[in-house]
């Protein structure tokens, strides 16, 4: 499998976790050094890194957007960069990144 194909699969795995809330395999596709720039305003979340930060993001997003669904329409990859996503949801609770 090419690097581009592997990276597209990583994106699919992350989107599947966001869609289903199943975070049991997050450590297989989220690096220990993963860093969510948008969570840096929160004093607790700003200290989180790696799979635990991604799991926290999944939990918070799914609380706020009860009908969350990310749909991959098409993916384009070049080396380590992948672009793809369409999001459909209705805000159903207070949400802060």
pLDDT (tens digit per residue) in 53-88: 999 989 988 888 878 888 887 788 887 778 776 666
Question: Is 93 within a domain?
Answer: no
- Give the predicted TM-score (pTM) of the model: 0.76
11-30: average pLDDT: 93
Question: Is 96 within a domain?
Answer: no
CATH number at residue 13: 3.10.450.50
Asked whether residue 44 carries a pLDDT value surpassing 90, the answer given is: no
Question: Is 95 within a domain?
Answer: no
- At 75, list the tokens: 């993916």
Asked whether residue 21 carries a pLDDT value surpassing 80, the answer given is: yes
Q: What's the number of domains the chain is made of? A: 1
C-alpha span between 10 and 92 (Å, rounded): 28
Residue with tokens 């969510």: 36
């Amino acid at each position: 499998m090419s690097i581009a194909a592997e990276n597209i699969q990583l994106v699919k795995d992350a989107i599947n976790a966001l869609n289903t809330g199943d975070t049991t395999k997050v450590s297989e596709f989220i690096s220990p050094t993963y860093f969510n720039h948008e969570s840096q305003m929160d004093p607790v979340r700003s200290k989180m890194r790696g799979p635990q930060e991604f799991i926290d993001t999944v939990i918070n997003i799914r609380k706020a957007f009860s009908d969350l669904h990310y749909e991959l329409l098409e993916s384009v990859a070049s080396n380590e960069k992948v672009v793809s996503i369409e999001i459909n949801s209705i805000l159903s609770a207070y949400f802060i990144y």
